[in-house]
Amino acid sequence: MSDTSTPANKGRDLTEGSIAKTMLLFALPTLGSSVLQSLNGSINAVWVGRFLGEEALAATTNGNILMFIMISFVFGFGMAATILIGQAMGRRNDTMVKKTMGTALGSIIPISVLLATGGWIFAPALLELLGTPPSAFELALTYLRMIFIAMPVTLTFTLMMMALRGTGDSTTPLWFIAMSVVIDLILTPILILGLGPFPEWGIFGSAFATAVANTLALIGMIVTLYWRGSVLTLSMPELRFLRADLSILKSMFSKGLPMGLQMIVISTAALTMLSLINREGVQTTAAYSATQQLWTYVQMPAMALSAAASAMVAQNIGANQWNRVSGITRWGLIFNLILTGTMISVLTIFDESVLALFLGSDSPAVPIGRHIQLMATWGYLFFGVAQVLFGAMRANGYVVWPLIVMVISMYPVRLGFAFGLYPTLGADALWLSFPAGMVATAVMGAGLYMYGGWRKGKILPSEEAAQTAEGYRAHGGTCSSCRDMAPTTSWKQVQEPG
Protein backbone atom coordinates (compact mmCIF):
# COMPACT_ATOMS: atom_id res chain seq x y z
CA MET A 1 0.00 0.00 0.00
CA SER A 2 1.02 3.59 -0.41
CA ASP A 3 2.76 5.09 2.57
CA THR A 4 2.30 8.76 3.21
CA SER A 5 4.97 9.00 5.89
CA THR A 6 8.47 10.15 5.11
CA PRO A 7 10.82 9.10 7.90
CA ALA A 8 14.51 9.81 7.63
CA ASN A 9 15.39 6.32 6.53
CA LYS A 10 13.42 6.80 3.33
CA GLY A 11 15.52 9.63 1.94
CA ARG A 12 15.13 13.36 1.59
CA ASP A 13 11.89 15.05 0.55
CA LEU A 14 12.80 17.21 -2.45
CA THR A 15 9.29 18.64 -2.93
CA GLU A 16 9.37 21.36 -0.27
CA GLY A 17 11.57 24.13 1.08
CA SER A 18 13.96 26.49 -0.68
CA ILE A 19 14.82 25.20 -4.14
CA ALA A 20 18.34 26.65 -4.10
CA LYS A 21 19.14 25.25 -0.65
CA THR A 22 17.62 21.85 -1.44
CA MET A 23 19.57 21.62 -4.69
CA LEU A 24 22.86 22.48 -2.99
CA LEU A 25 22.24 20.02 -0.14
CA PHE A 26 21.60 17.31 -2.73
CA ALA A 27 24.21 18.29 -5.30
CA LEU A 28 27.18 18.90 -2.99
CA PRO A 29 27.37 15.31 -1.66
CA THR A 30 26.96 14.08 -5.25
CA LEU A 31 29.77 16.42 -6.28
CA GLY A 32 31.83 15.15 -3.35
CA SER A 33 31.25 11.58 -4.53
CA SER A 34 32.43 12.52 -8.02
CA VAL A 35 35.48 14.31 -6.63
CA LEU A 36 36.46 11.26 -4.61
CA GLN A 37 35.97 8.88 -7.53
CA SER A 38 37.90 11.12 -9.90
CA LEU A 39 40.63 11.79 -7.36
CA ASN A 40 40.98 8.06 -6.95
CA GLY A 41 41.21 7.58 -10.71
CA SER A 42 43.70 10.42 -10.98
CA ILE A 43 45.94 9.07 -8.22
CA ASN A 44 45.83 5.64 -9.80
CA ALA A 45 46.77 7.25 -13.11
CA VAL A 46 49.71 8.92 -11.36
CA TRP A 47 50.88 5.54 -10.07
CA VAL A 48 50.46 3.94 -13.50
CA GLY A 49 52.03 6.79 -15.46
CA ARG A 50 54.98 7.43 -13.16
CA PHE A 51 55.88 3.85 -12.25
CA LEU A 52 54.72 1.80 -15.26
CA GLY A 53 55.30 4.35 -18.05
CA GLU A 54 53.41 6.23 -20.74
CA GLU A 55 52.49 3.00 -22.55
CA ALA A 56 50.67 1.77 -19.44
CA LEU A 57 48.86 5.10 -19.09
CA ALA A 58 47.78 4.92 -22.73
CA ALA A 59 46.63 1.35 -22.05
CA THR A 60 44.34 2.45 -19.22
CA THR A 61 42.82 5.13 -21.47
CA ASN A 62 41.99 2.58 -24.16
CA GLY A 63 40.67 0.13 -21.57
CA ASN A 64 38.53 2.66 -19.73
CA ILE A 65 36.83 4.00 -22.83
CA LEU A 66 35.87 0.48 -23.89
CA MET A 67 34.54 -0.19 -20.41
CA PHE A 68 32.48 2.98 -20.67
CA ILE A 69 30.84 1.93 -23.92
CA MET A 70 30.01 -1.53 -22.54
CA ILE A 71 28.19 -0.16 -19.48
CA SER A 72 26.34 2.60 -21.31
CA PHE A 73 23.14 0.61 -21.83
CA VAL A 74 23.15 -0.43 -18.20
CA PHE A 75 23.62 3.20 -17.18
CA GLY A 76 20.47 4.16 -19.07
CA PHE A 77 18.64 1.29 -17.41
CA GLY A 78 19.76 2.57 -13.99
CA MET A 79 18.74 6.15 -14.80
CA ALA A 80 15.27 4.97 -15.77
CA ALA A 81 15.03 3.14 -12.45
CA THR A 82 16.10 6.31 -10.65
CA ILE A 83 13.34 8.29 -12.36
CA LEU A 84 10.72 5.70 -11.46
CA ILE A 85 11.92 5.64 -7.86
CA GLY A 86 11.91 9.44 -7.70
CA GLN A 87 8.36 9.73 -9.00
CA ALA A 88 7.20 6.94 -6.69
CA MET A 89 8.80 8.75 -3.75
CA GLY A 90 6.94 11.91 -4.74
CA ARG A 91 3.69 9.94 -4.65
CA ARG A 92 4.68 8.33 -1.30
CA ASN A 93 4.32 4.89 -2.93
CA ASP A 94 6.76 2.61 -1.07
CA THR A 95 5.54 -0.52 -2.84
CA MET A 96 6.44 0.90 -6.23
CA VAL A 97 9.88 1.89 -4.94
CA LYS A 98 10.54 -1.68 -3.79
CA LYS A 99 9.16 -3.22 -6.98
CA THR A 100 11.33 -0.94 -9.08
CA MET A 101 14.42 -1.73 -7.02
CA GLY A 102 13.73 -5.47 -7.21
CA THR A 103 13.15 -5.40 -10.95
CA ALA A 104 16.31 -3.35 -11.51
CA LEU A 105 18.50 -5.66 -9.42
CA GLY A 106 16.94 -8.83 -10.81
CA SER A 107 17.67 -7.64 -14.33
CA ILE A 108 20.99 -5.81 -14.09
CA ILE A 109 22.91 -8.63 -12.40
CA PRO A 110 22.41 -11.24 -15.16
CA ILE A 111 22.91 -8.56 -17.82
CA SER A 112 26.22 -7.53 -16.25
CA VAL A 113 27.37 -11.17 -16.10
CA LEU A 114 26.69 -11.53 -19.83
CA LEU A 115 28.53 -8.28 -20.58
CA ALA A 116 31.47 -9.41 -18.47
CA THR A 117 31.69 -12.74 -20.29
CA GLY A 118 31.42 -11.15 -23.72
CA GLY A 119 33.93 -8.47 -22.78
CA TRP A 120 36.52 -11.02 -21.68
CA ILE A 121 36.15 -13.02 -24.91
CA PHE A 122 36.16 -10.10 -27.33
CA ALA A 123 38.62 -7.79 -25.51
CA PRO A 124 41.48 -8.38 -28.02
CA ALA A 125 39.23 -7.68 -30.99
CA LEU A 126 37.89 -4.53 -29.34
CA LEU A 127 41.37 -3.19 -28.69
CA GLU A 128 42.41 -3.93 -32.27
CA LEU A 129 39.32 -2.15 -33.57
CA LEU A 130 40.26 0.85 -31.48
CA GLY A 131 43.74 0.95 -32.96
CA THR A 132 45.48 0.62 -29.61
CA PRO A 133 49.23 1.32 -30.02
CA PRO A 134 51.16 -1.99 -30.25
CA SER A 135 53.43 -1.01 -27.38
CA ALA A 136 50.40 -0.66 -25.10
CA PHE A 137 48.31 -3.58 -26.41
CA GLU A 138 49.22 -6.32 -23.93
CA LEU A 139 48.97 -3.95 -20.98
CA ALA A 140 45.57 -2.73 -22.18
CA LEU A 141 44.34 -6.33 -22.59
CA THR A 142 45.36 -7.30 -19.06
CA TYR A 143 43.76 -4.16 -17.60
CA LEU A 144 40.54 -4.48 -19.62
CA ARG A 145 39.93 -8.13 -18.79
CA MET A 146 40.24 -7.47 -15.05
CA ILE A 147 37.74 -4.64 -15.40
CA PHE A 148 35.30 -6.98 -17.12
CA ILE A 149 35.64 -9.57 -14.36
CA ALA A 150 34.63 -6.91 -11.84
CA MET A 151 31.71 -5.60 -13.91
CA PRO A 152 28.80 -7.26 -12.02
CA VAL A 153 29.96 -5.74 -8.72
CA THR A 154 30.75 -2.38 -10.30
CA LEU A 155 27.36 -2.07 -12.00
CA THR A 156 25.40 -3.22 -8.94
CA PHE A 157 27.26 -0.69 -6.79
CA THR A 158 26.49 2.03 -9.34
CA LEU A 159 22.81 1.06 -9.50
CA MET A 160 22.46 1.14 -5.70
CA MET A 161 23.96 4.63 -5.57
CA MET A 162 21.66 5.88 -8.33
CA ALA A 163 18.62 4.39 -6.60
CA LEU A 164 19.55 6.09 -3.32
CA ARG A 165 19.73 9.42 -5.09
CA GLY A 166 16.29 8.75 -6.54
CA THR A 167 15.01 8.61 -2.95
CA GLY A 168 16.64 11.97 -2.28
CA ASP A 169 19.61 10.52 -0.39
CA SER A 170 22.89 11.69 -1.90
CA THR A 171 24.87 11.44 1.35
CA THR A 172 24.98 7.66 1.83
CA PRO A 173 26.59 7.11 -1.60
CA LEU A 174 29.23 9.67 -0.61
CA TRP A 175 30.27 7.69 2.48
CA PHE A 176 30.59 4.40 0.65
CA ILE A 177 32.43 5.91 -2.29
CA ALA A 178 34.81 7.34 0.31
CA MET A 179 35.23 3.85 1.75
CA SER A 180 35.93 2.43 -1.72
CA VAL A 181 38.44 5.17 -2.51
CA VAL A 182 40.38 4.73 0.72
CA ILE A 183 40.69 0.97 0.18
CA ASP A 184 41.68 1.48 -3.46
CA LEU A 185 44.30 4.10 -2.62
CA ILE A 186 45.90 1.76 -0.08
CA LEU A 187 45.86 -1.35 -2.29
CA THR A 188 46.86 0.18 -5.63
CA PRO A 189 50.51 1.07 -4.93
CA ILE A 190 50.94 -2.11 -2.89
CA LEU A 191 49.77 -4.33 -5.75
CA ILE A 192 51.40 -2.33 -8.54
CA LEU A 193 54.83 -2.31 -6.91
CA GLY A 194 54.59 -5.52 -4.87
CA LEU A 195 55.26 -3.88 -1.52
CA GLY A 196 55.84 -6.09 1.50
CA PRO A 197 54.55 -9.65 1.12
CA PHE A 198 52.25 -8.78 -1.79
CA PRO A 199 52.99 -9.79 -5.41
CA GLU A 200 54.12 -7.24 -8.00
CA TRP A 201 51.14 -7.25 -10.35
CA GLY A 202 51.77 -4.05 -12.30
CA ILE A 203 48.77 -2.79 -14.25
CA PHE A 204 46.72 -5.84 -13.25
CA GLY A 205 47.17 -4.79 -9.61
CA SER A 206 45.62 -1.38 -10.34
CA ALA A 207 42.44 -2.91 -11.76
CA PHE A 208 42.32 -5.64 -9.07
CA ALA A 209 42.55 -3.08 -6.26
CA THR A 210 39.58 -1.18 -7.66
CA ALA A 211 37.53 -4.37 -7.91
CA VAL A 212 38.23 -5.30 -4.27
CA ALA A 213 37.42 -1.79 -3.08
CA ASN A 214 34.07 -1.71 -4.91
CA THR A 215 33.14 -5.16 -3.61
CA LEU A 216 33.75 -4.24 0.03
CA ALA A 217 31.93 -0.91 -0.37
CA LEU A 218 28.90 -2.64 -1.94
CA ILE A 219 28.71 -5.12 0.92
CA GLY A 220 28.96 -2.29 3.44
CA MET A 221 26.22 -0.30 1.69
CA ILE A 222 23.79 -3.24 1.60
CA VAL A 223 24.35 -3.99 5.30
CA THR A 224 23.83 -0.33 6.21
CA LEU A 225 20.60 -0.02 4.22
CA TYR A 226 19.13 -3.07 5.94
CA TRP A 227 20.27 -1.80 9.33
CA ARG A 228 18.51 1.52 8.67
CA GLY A 229 15.38 -0.10 7.28
CA SER A 230 15.72 1.78 3.99
CA VAL A 231 12.74 1.85 1.65
CA LEU A 232 15.03 0.29 -0.98
CA THR A 233 15.58 -2.92 0.99
CA LEU A 234 13.55 -6.07 0.38
CA SER A 235 12.31 -8.26 3.22
CA MET A 236 12.07 -12.03 2.75
CA PRO A 237 8.50 -11.89 1.36
CA GLU A 238 9.52 -8.96 -0.88
CA LEU A 239 12.35 -10.90 -2.49
CA ARG A 240 9.72 -11.98 -5.01
CA PHE A 241 10.14 -8.49 -6.49
CA LEU A 242 13.50 -9.67 -7.87
CA ARG A 243 11.42 -11.43 -10.51
CA ALA A 244 11.00 -8.61 -12.97
CA ASP A 245 7.64 -6.84 -13.06
CA LEU A 246 6.94 -6.63 -16.79
CA SER A 247 5.30 -3.19 -16.69
CA ILE A 248 8.22 -1.74 -14.74
CA LEU A 249 10.75 -3.52 -16.95
CA LYS A 250 9.02 -2.15 -20.03
CA SER A 251 9.26 1.36 -18.59
CA MET A 252 12.92 0.90 -17.74
CA PHE A 253 13.81 -0.29 -21.22
CA SER A 254 11.62 2.19 -23.10
CA LYS A 255 13.06 5.12 -21.17
CA GLY A 256 16.46 3.63 -20.40
CA LEU A 257 17.34 2.55 -23.93
CA PRO A 258 17.45 6.11 -25.35
CA MET A 259 19.47 7.26 -22.33
CA GLY A 260 21.83 4.33 -22.77
CA LEU A 261 22.07 5.14 -26.47
CA GLN A 262 23.10 8.69 -25.54
CA MET A 263 26.05 7.17 -23.72
CA ILE A 264 26.74 4.90 -26.68
CA VAL A 265 26.73 7.91 -29.01
CA ILE A 266 29.18 9.75 -26.76
CA SER A 267 31.33 6.64 -26.43
CA THR A 268 31.49 5.77 -30.12
CA ALA A 269 32.30 9.38 -30.97
CA ALA A 270 35.05 9.25 -28.32
CA LEU A 271 36.32 5.97 -29.78
CA THR A 272 36.54 7.54 -33.21
CA MET A 273 38.32 10.57 -31.75
CA LEU A 274 40.72 8.34 -29.85
CA SER A 275 41.54 6.40 -33.00
CA LEU A 276 42.49 9.73 -34.61
CA ILE A 277 44.48 10.79 -31.54
CA ASN A 278 46.30 7.44 -31.44
CA ARG A 279 47.63 8.22 -34.93
CA GLU A 280 49.43 11.23 -33.47
CA GLY A 281 51.67 8.93 -31.42
CA VAL A 282 51.99 7.59 -27.88
CA GLN A 283 53.02 10.96 -26.41
CA THR A 284 49.92 12.68 -27.74
CA THR A 285 47.73 9.81 -26.51
CA ALA A 286 49.35 10.04 -23.07
CA ALA A 287 48.88 13.85 -23.07
CA TYR A 288 45.23 13.41 -24.02
CA SER A 289 44.83 10.79 -21.26
CA ALA A 290 46.23 13.20 -18.68
CA THR A 291 44.05 16.04 -20.00
CA GLN A 292 41.01 13.81 -19.65
CA GLN A 293 41.81 13.64 -15.94
CA LEU A 294 41.41 17.44 -15.81
CA TRP A 295 38.20 17.27 -17.82
CA THR A 296 36.81 14.74 -15.40
CA TYR A 297 37.00 17.34 -12.64
CA VAL A 298 35.65 20.16 -14.81
CA GLN A 299 32.51 18.23 -15.73
CA MET A 300 31.76 17.04 -12.19
CA PRO A 301 29.65 20.07 -11.11
CA ALA A 302 27.51 19.69 -14.23
CA MET A 303 26.92 16.00 -13.63
CA ALA A 304 26.08 16.57 -9.95
CA LEU A 305 23.64 19.34 -10.85
CA SER A 306 22.10 17.18 -13.59
CA ALA A 307 21.53 14.38 -11.07
CA ALA A 308 20.05 16.87 -8.61
CA ALA A 309 17.75 18.31 -11.27
CA SER A 310 16.54 14.82 -12.28
CA ALA A 311 15.85 13.71 -8.71
CA MET A 312 14.17 16.97 -7.71
CA VAL A 313 12.03 17.27 -10.84
CA ALA A 314 11.02 13.59 -10.66
CA GLN A 315 9.84 13.89 -7.06
CA ASN A 316 8.00 17.14 -7.76
CA ILE A 317 6.29 15.65 -10.81
CA GLY A 318 5.29 12.70 -8.65
CA ALA A 319 3.86 15.13 -6.09
CA ASN A 320 2.20 17.13 -8.94
CA GLN A 321 4.11 20.28 -7.98
CA TRP A 322 4.92 21.57 -11.44
CA ASN A 323 5.24 25.12 -10.14
CA ARG A 324 8.69 24.20 -8.75
CA VAL A 325 10.11 22.63 -11.91
CA SER A 326 11.16 25.84 -13.70
CA GLY A 327 12.82 27.11 -10.54
CA ILE A 328 14.78 23.88 -10.19
CA THR A 329 16.08 24.21 -13.75
CA ARG A 330 16.90 27.89 -13.32
CA TRP A 331 18.93 27.32 -10.16
CA GLY A 332 20.71 24.38 -11.80
CA LEU A 333 21.86 26.65 -14.63
CA ILE A 334 22.99 29.37 -12.21
CA PHE A 335 24.98 26.96 -10.08
CA ASN A 336 26.52 25.45 -13.23
CA LEU A 337 27.84 28.82 -14.38
CA ILE A 338 29.34 29.47 -10.94
CA LEU A 339 30.81 26.05 -10.18
CA THR A 340 31.90 24.97 -13.66
CA GLY A 341 33.28 28.41 -14.43
CA THR A 342 35.35 28.28 -11.23
CA MET A 343 36.68 24.81 -12.07
CA ILE A 344 37.72 25.90 -15.55
CA SER A 345 39.54 28.95 -14.17
CA VAL A 346 41.39 27.06 -11.44
CA LEU A 347 42.52 24.21 -13.68
CA THR A 348 43.61 26.63 -16.40
CA ILE A 349 45.89 28.39 -13.91
CA PHE A 350 47.43 25.20 -12.50
CA ASP A 351 47.28 22.92 -15.55
CA GLU A 352 51.04 22.55 -15.97
CA SER A 353 51.57 21.42 -12.39
CA VAL A 354 48.65 18.99 -12.51
CA LEU A 355 49.64 17.49 -15.86
CA ALA A 356 53.18 16.97 -14.53
CA LEU A 357 51.74 14.73 -11.81
CA PHE A 358 50.60 12.25 -14.45
CA LEU A 359 53.35 12.60 -16.99
CA GLY A 360 56.42 13.80 -15.09
CA SER A 361 57.64 17.40 -15.17
CA ASP A 362 60.21 16.70 -17.90
CA SER A 363 57.89 14.73 -20.18
CA PRO A 364 57.48 16.10 -23.73
CA ALA A 365 53.77 15.22 -23.38
CA VAL A 366 53.21 18.04 -20.83
CA PRO A 367 53.18 20.95 -23.32
CA ILE A 368 50.94 18.90 -25.62
CA GLY A 369 48.52 18.38 -22.74
CA ARG A 370 48.55 22.08 -21.85
CA HIS A 371 47.71 22.98 -25.43
CA ILE A 372 44.84 20.50 -25.53
CA GLN A 373 43.46 21.85 -22.25
CA LEU A 374 43.56 25.50 -23.36
CA MET A 375 41.93 24.71 -26.70
CA ALA A 376 39.03 22.62 -25.42
CA THR A 377 38.22 22.96 -21.70
CA TRP A 378 36.09 26.12 -21.99
CA GLY A 379 33.44 24.10 -23.81
CA TYR A 380 32.43 22.37 -20.57
CA LEU A 381 30.54 25.48 -19.54
CA PHE A 382 28.09 24.67 -22.35
CA PHE A 383 28.25 20.99 -21.48
CA GLY A 384 26.89 21.92 -18.04
CA VAL A 385 24.01 23.87 -19.51
CA ALA A 386 22.96 20.89 -21.62
CA GLN A 387 23.27 18.45 -18.71
CA VAL A 388 21.00 20.48 -16.43
CA LEU A 389 18.36 20.85 -19.15
CA PHE A 390 18.52 17.14 -20.05
CA GLY A 391 18.34 16.22 -16.37
CA ALA A 392 15.11 18.13 -15.94
CA MET A 393 13.51 16.75 -19.11
CA ARG A 394 14.41 13.11 -18.53
CA ALA A 395 12.69 13.25 -15.12
CA ASN A 396 9.41 13.12 -17.03
CA GLY A 397 10.59 10.34 -19.33
CA TYR A 398 11.43 12.71 -22.21
CA VAL A 399 14.47 10.94 -23.64
CA VAL A 400 14.14 10.43 -27.40
CA TRP A 401 14.70 14.01 -28.59
CA PRO A 402 17.71 14.52 -26.30
CA LEU A 403 19.15 11.39 -27.93
CA ILE A 404 18.62 12.91 -31.37
CA VAL A 405 20.33 16.11 -30.21
CA MET A 406 23.28 14.09 -28.96
CA VAL A 407 23.59 12.21 -32.26
CA ILE A 408 23.67 15.48 -34.20
CA SER A 409 26.18 17.08 -31.83
CA MET A 410 28.56 14.14 -31.74
CA TYR A 411 28.57 13.12 -35.40
CA PRO A 412 27.76 15.87 -37.92
CA VAL A 413 29.15 18.54 -35.58
CA ARG A 414 32.05 17.11 -33.54
CA LEU A 415 33.33 14.44 -35.92
CA GLY A 416 32.50 16.57 -38.96
CA PHE A 417 34.56 19.39 -37.46
CA ALA A 418 37.47 17.07 -36.63
CA PHE A 419 37.58 15.32 -40.01
CA GLY A 420 36.66 18.32 -42.11
CA LEU A 421 39.15 20.78 -40.62
CA TYR A 422 42.02 18.38 -39.90
CA PRO A 423 43.69 19.04 -43.29
CA THR A 424 43.66 22.78 -42.46
CA LEU A 425 44.18 22.93 -38.69
CA GLY A 426 45.98 19.67 -38.06
CA ALA A 427 45.64 18.28 -34.53
CA ASP A 428 43.95 21.52 -33.39
CA ALA A 429 40.86 20.41 -35.29
CA LEU A 430 40.64 17.43 -32.93
CA TRP A 431 40.80 19.59 -29.81
CA LEU A 432 38.43 22.32 -31.05
CA SER A 433 35.85 19.71 -32.08
CA PHE A 434 35.10 19.08 -28.39
CA PRO A 435 33.75 22.57 -27.57
CA ALA A 436 32.08 22.72 -30.98
CA GLY A 437 29.98 19.68 -30.08
CA MET A 438 29.23 21.00 -26.58
CA VAL A 439 28.00 24.37 -27.83
CA ALA A 440 25.75 22.65 -30.36
CA THR A 441 24.33 20.38 -27.63
CA ALA A 442 23.55 23.33 -25.34
CA VAL A 443 21.84 25.35 -28.08
CA MET A 444 19.65 22.47 -29.25
CA GLY A 445 18.97 21.39 -25.65
CA ALA A 446 17.73 24.89 -24.81
CA GLY A 447 15.41 24.73 -27.81
CA LEU A 448 13.98 21.41 -26.60
CA TYR A 449 13.49 22.70 -23.08
CA MET A 450 11.63 25.82 -24.20
CA TYR A 451 9.61 24.43 -27.12
CA GLY A 452 9.63 20.63 -26.78
CA GLY A 453 6.67 18.66 -25.47
CA TRP A 454 8.44 17.25 -22.44
CA ARG A 455 6.04 18.87 -19.94
CA LYS A 456 3.04 17.14 -21.47
CA GLY A 457 2.40 13.44 -21.61
CA LYS A 458 1.27 10.47 -19.64
CA ILE A 459 2.90 9.30 -16.48
CA LEU A 460 5.39 6.46 -16.83
CA PRO A 461 3.67 3.15 -17.66
CA SER A 462 4.64 1.35 -14.47
CA GLU A 463 3.27 4.24 -12.43
CA GLU A 464 -0.04 4.04 -14.29
CA ALA A 465 -0.34 0.39 -13.44
CA ALA A 466 0.64 1.06 -9.85
CA GLN A 467 -1.94 3.82 -9.38
CA THR A 468 -4.66 1.71 -10.93
CA ALA A 469 -3.80 -1.25 -8.73
CA GLU A 470 -3.66 0.97 -5.64
CA GLY A 471 -7.06 2.39 -6.43
CA TYR A 472 -8.49 -1.06 -7.03
CA ARG A 473 -7.15 -2.34 -3.69
CA ALA A 474 -8.22 0.80 -1.84
CA HIS A 475 -11.83 0.09 -2.81
CA GLY A 476 -11.55 -3.57 -1.81
CA GLY A 477 -11.78 -4.64 -5.42
CA THR A 478 -15.35 -3.36 -5.68
CA CYS A 479 -14.87 -0.10 -7.56
CA SER A 480 -16.20 -0.67 -11.06
CA SER A 481 -14.33 2.27 -12.55
CA CYS A 482 -11.03 1.06 -11.04
CA ARG A 483 -11.76 -2.49 -12.18
CA ASP A 484 -12.52 -1.33 -15.67
CA MET A 485 -9.19 0.45 -15.90
CA ALA A 486 -7.02 -2.36 -14.54
CA PRO A 487 -4.71 -3.63 -15.81
CA THR A 488 -4.83 -2.22 -19.35
CA THR A 489 -5.54 1.37 -18.38
CA SER A 490 -4.70 4.24 -20.68
CA TRP A 491 -5.25 6.66 -17.78
CA LYS A 492 -3.25 9.78 -18.50
CA GLN A 493 -2.33 12.90 -16.68
CA VAL A 494 -1.70 15.95 -18.84
CA GLN A 495 0.82 17.82 -16.73
CA GLU A 496 1.19 21.54 -17.31
CA PRO A 497 3.58 23.76 -15.40
CA GLY A 498 1.92 25.19 -12.31
Angle, CA 175 vertex, CA 184 and CA 107 arms, to 5° = 80
Is there a domain that residue 26 lies in? no
**Could you tell me if 303 and 256 lie in one domain?**
no
pTM of the model: 0.75
**Could you tell me if 254 and 289 lie in one domain?**
no
Distance between CA atoms of residues 180 and 34, nearest Å: 12
**Could you tell me if 176 and 121 lie in one domain?**
yes
CB 165 within 8 Å of CB 311: yes
Distance between CA atoms of residues 278 and 59, nearest Å: 11
**Could you tell me if 419 and 314 lie in one domain?**
yes
**Could you tell me if 435 and 336 lie in one domain?**
yes
**Could you tell me if 245 and 336 lie in one domain?**
no
Is there a domain that residue 485 lies in? no
pLDDT in tens, the chain (498 residues): 444 444 434 556 788 889 999 999 999 998 898 888 777 776 777 777 766 776 677 667 666 666 666 666 677 878 888 888 888 888 888 888 999 999 999 988 888 888 888 888 888 887 777 677 777 777 778 888 888 888 899 889 988 998 998 888 989 999 999 999 999 889 988 988 888 788 888 878 888 998 999 999 999 999 999 999 999 999 988 989 988 888 888 888 888 888 878 877 877 787 788 888 888 888 888 888 888 878 888 988 999 999 899 989 988 988 888 889 999 999 999 999 999 999 999 888 888 888 887 787 788 888 898 999 999 999 999 999 999 999 999 888 888 899 999 999 988 999 899 989 999 998 899 999 999 999 999 999 999 999 988 887 555 554 444 454 444 344 444 443 333 333 322 222 323 332
**Could you tell me if 251 and 384 lie in one domain?**
no
Q: Which residue type does 396 have?
A: N
Distance between CA atoms of residues 365 and 373, nearest Å: 12
Residue ranges of alpha helices (H) inside 93-170 are: 94-130, 134-149, 151-166
**Could you tell me if 435 and 297 lie in one domain?**
yes
**Could you tell me if 120 and 161 lie in one domain?**
yes
Total domains in the chain come to 2
Distance between CA atoms of residues 247 and 468, nearest Å: 13
Is there a domain that residue 442 lies in? yes
Which residue range is the domain that position 214 belongs to? Answer: 33-260
DSSP string for residues in 400-462: HHHHHHHHHIIIIIIIHHHHHHHHHHTTHHHHHHHHHHHHHHHHHHHHHHHHSSTTSSPPPHH
SS3 of 111, please? Answer: helix
**Could you tell me if 337 and 250 lie in one domain?**
no
Is there a domain that residue 371 lies in? yes
Is there a domain that residue 211 lies in? yes
Is there a domain that residue 18 lies in? no
**Could you tell me if 168 and 294 lie in one domain?**
no
**Could you tell me if 239 and 295 lie in one domain?**
no
167: Cα separation from own chain's centroid? 17
Is there a domain that residue 445 lies in? yes
Is there a domain that residue 498 lies in? no
- Count CB-CB contacts under 10 A for residue 127: 20
Distance between CA atoms of residues 214 and 364, nearest Å: 35
